[in-house]
Chains A and B, each alone.
Chain A
Amino acid sequence: MVEAVFDGPHGPKPRRRFSRRNIFLYGTLILVACYYALPLYVMVVTSLKGMPEIRMGNIFAPPVEITFQPWVKAWAEACTGINCDGLSRGFWNSVQILVPSVLLSIAIASVNGYALANWRFRGSEVFFTILIIGAFIPYQVMLYPIVILLRELGLYGSIWGLVLVHTIFGMPILTLLFRNYFTSLPDELFKAARVDGAGFWGIYLRIMVPMSLPIFVVAIILQVTGIWNDFLFGVIYTKPDQYPMTVQLNNIVNSVQGVKEYNVNMAATLLTGLVPLVIYFVSGKLFVRGIAAGAVKG
């Protein structure tokens, strides 16, 4: 075989690893990553130190003697008021609030979105607009009216009252999310299902929902993080026995009596943040998967 001889540029264009562009790009990325990772590092490190070590003041130094005592204390022993059973109580309260709120709000909002996208009725656009405006009303305006509403319903101070509040406040943004997703699904699929004799619920449950895993994952992420991190509604609409984890965390960290136990506070904060973090890690992959593949075109 004769090897061709070329003059000038030929074949693949050579790439320089340390070009100015690359140095700038990766330099910026590393810098920003450090900026965000540093506080987390400090928290983890501090939560693993004993109090004597913390008092020495080197907040960036790794722990000399690793201890998990602060984590145990934060979970099971830290005191808020007269209760000394740590964050565990708040954790279970939060779970009890979270699960029904997420399920209920997503179930209702997805049906809303589906109806608004596929079963246009007279005034559906107006209805949708009103719902969207709801997303822009500041919560503070509605705090007191809701107190009265819940009191009249006999739900004030109970977990179910809070579930109701979370469900309602999640409605505008979730409905928007689902409506836009269902609108993006091919219209002919809906028509085909109607010709095949499927009704409102048949199309929803057997055609739309199985195609909508990505948007359900988005909705779950949105609702889990939102409801888990909620402080305002939790502190207003529940009693101390039912305080969610965030409220209890605040009560532990902000207690004014006694020594400030930084390691316990850090451990408690990390524990509280764990649930949204797990959700992010677990759901990341489901995000990108194309579910509608094969439905249309070719």
Chain B
Amino acid sequence: MNSVEIKSLGLSFGAVNVLRDLDLEIREGEFLVLLGASGCGKSTLLNCIAGLLDVTAGQIFIKGRNVTWEEPSDRGIGMVFQSYALYPQMTVEGNMGFGLRNAGMPRAEVQARVAKAADTLQLEPLLHRKPAALSGGQRQRVAIGRALVRDVDVFLFDEPLSNLDAKLRAELRVEIKRLHQQLANTMIYVTHDQVEAMTLADRIAVMRGGAIQQLASPGEIYNSPRNKYVADFIGSPAMNFLDGVLVEGRFRAGDWVVPLDGYAFRGLAPNGPAWLGVRPEHVTTGDAARTAPISAEVRAEIVEPMGADTLVWTTLAGQSFRARVDGQAQVEVGDALTIGFDLTRASMFDKETEDRL
């Protein structure tokens, strides 16, 4: 059974269409990440599911129940916000129990549920503190606890880690993943951070301009992005795109011509302008490059050492091309390099439609 089902959802503010005819089905217990740059409508979609925004078209089902017109509190959802949104005048205990008390639950049961959630999130020593006396990570745990106590079907996360520093973000990311494994609830998670998306998600929905570009598992999104936008958005450093032309099974960029034997086209191999996309981490150097199906001689122009690996900027076929090499490799500016890659791991996109070929 689907936990959340969205049918031709639309939302417009006056003449501006933020979401248009959007369909989405989320399975029971699934961790779905809505990923996209700011302004792509991912938070708006989440707010629609939560009932904090009134939709202008379509339907929303949660656990098979049509909740399109229901109040947020009646939808069986819990929500965690980017800014934590803790009630400053209440203690941690008060914050977590607020929803339950609103629902008229007996005091003893409220306390029991809060204690259980506090145990899960290791918040017991903080129960009587006010939010002002907590660190950022603790505050976000309280915010998660507030959703947890309500025993909801679906958790909604609106960029919950964006306000934290990098180290804490990594810690809480793992904690959220652990929580999901433990609870096995459906979770919908909005973020612009691809690392969060890749690590947490069962499936990722990459959004742009109020529409879902690709909905697939992290592996599929990474390995065979459906269009150039998705390919460019996922992966850091970003994918290399070589501008060229497809002519009878060969890709030509300037004088550089490669046969496309290893590449699995979605249909028939077309002719015409196209992009060849290669991820920097799929580019090999040295001996491995010489035996690779496609190889070329290039010159290192900029070297960016990052510790674990080093990013080398070169020029291939007159276009900028990056290669990620081992961090221990000794590469100096001006060095001649042999680079190589395998077309089975590359992507081809139509120049016009930017769709995967």
Contacts and interface: CB of A to CB of B under 8 A. Distances in A.
Interface of A: 186, 188-189, 191-198, 202, 206-207, 210-211, 291-298
Contact of A195 (B50, B88, B164): B50
B103 A197 contact: yes
B244 interface: no
| Most interface-central of B81, B130, B135 (chain A CB within 10 A) | B81
B102 interface: yes
B102 A192 contact: no
A197 to B, nearest CB: 3
Contact of B85 (A206, A293, A295, A298): A295
B85 A296 contact: yes
Please classify how large the interface on chain B is, using the bins under 10, 10 to 19, 20 to 34, 35 or more.
35 or more
Contacts of A297: 83-84, 136, 163
Given A294-B86, A296-B84, A297-B83, A195 B163 contact: no
A295 B86 contact: yes
B88 A294 contact: yes
A194 B72 contact: yes
B82 interface: yes
A295 B87 contact: yes
Contacts of A296: 83-86
Given A294-B131, A294-B134, A298-B135, A196 B86 contact: no
Q: Which 6 A-B pairs have the closest CB atoms?
A: A294-B132, A197-B73, A298-B136, A196-B99, A296-B83, A188-B85
Given A291-B88, A295-B87, A195 B73 contact: yes
A289 to B, nearest CB: 12
Contacts of B74: 197
Interface string B49-89: 01110000000000000000001111001110111111111
A196 B103 CA distance: 8
Given A188-B81, A296-B84, A211 B102 contact: no
Contacts of A188: 81-83, 85
A196 B73 contact: yes
B98 interface: yes
Given A194-B73, A195-B73, A195-B78, A293 B132 contact: yes
B85 A186 contact: yes
A193 B51 CA distance: 13
B133 interface: yes
B135 A195 contact: no
B89 A211 contact: yes
23 contacts: A186-B83, A188-B81, A188-B82, A188-B83, A191-B50, A192-B81, A192-B143, A193-B87, A194-B52, A194-B72, A195-B77, A198-B73, A206-B87, A206-B98, A211-B89, A293-B132, A294-B134, A295-B131, A296-B83, A296-B85, A296-B86, A298-B134, A298-B139
Given A196-B73, A291-B88, A298-B139, A191 B99 contact: no
B54 to A, nearest CB: 11
Given A197-B99, A297-B163, A189 B77 contact: no
Interface string B148-159: 001000000000
A196 B102 contact: yes
A169 B2 CA distance: 56
A211 B86 CA distance: 12
B146 interface: yes
A207 B87 CA distance: 7
A194 B99 CA distance: 9
A194 B163 contact: no
Nearest to B134: A294
Contacts of B139: 294, 298
Given A197-B99, A291-B88, A294-B139, 5 more contacts: A188-B85, A192-B86, A296-B86, A298-B135, A298-B164
A294 B146 CA distance: 16
Contacts of A191: 47, 50, 52, 72, 79, 81, 85
Nearest to A293: B132
Contacts of B84: 295-298
Interface in B85-134: 85-89, 98-99, 102-103, 130-134
Contacts of A194: 51-52, 71-73
Nearest to B131: A294
A298 B86 CA distance: 11
A194 B47 CA distance: 12
B83 A293 contact: no
A198 B102 contact: yes
Contacts of A197: 71-74, 99, 102-103
B146 A192 contact: yes
A67 B130 CA distance: 54
Contact of B72 (A195, A202, A292, A295): A195
A160 B103 CA distance: 40
A204 to B, nearest CB: 13
A298 B163 contact: yes
Contact of B88 (A193, A198, A295): A295
Interface string B13-37: 0000000000000000000000000
A183 to B, nearest CB: 16
Contacts of B103: 197
Nearest to B163: A297
Nearest to B165: A298
Contacts of A193: 87, 98
Contacts of A206: 87, 98
A292 B99 CA distance: 20
A106 to B, nearest CB: 19
A293 B86 CA distance: 10
A258 B71 CA distance: 73
Contacts of B143: 192
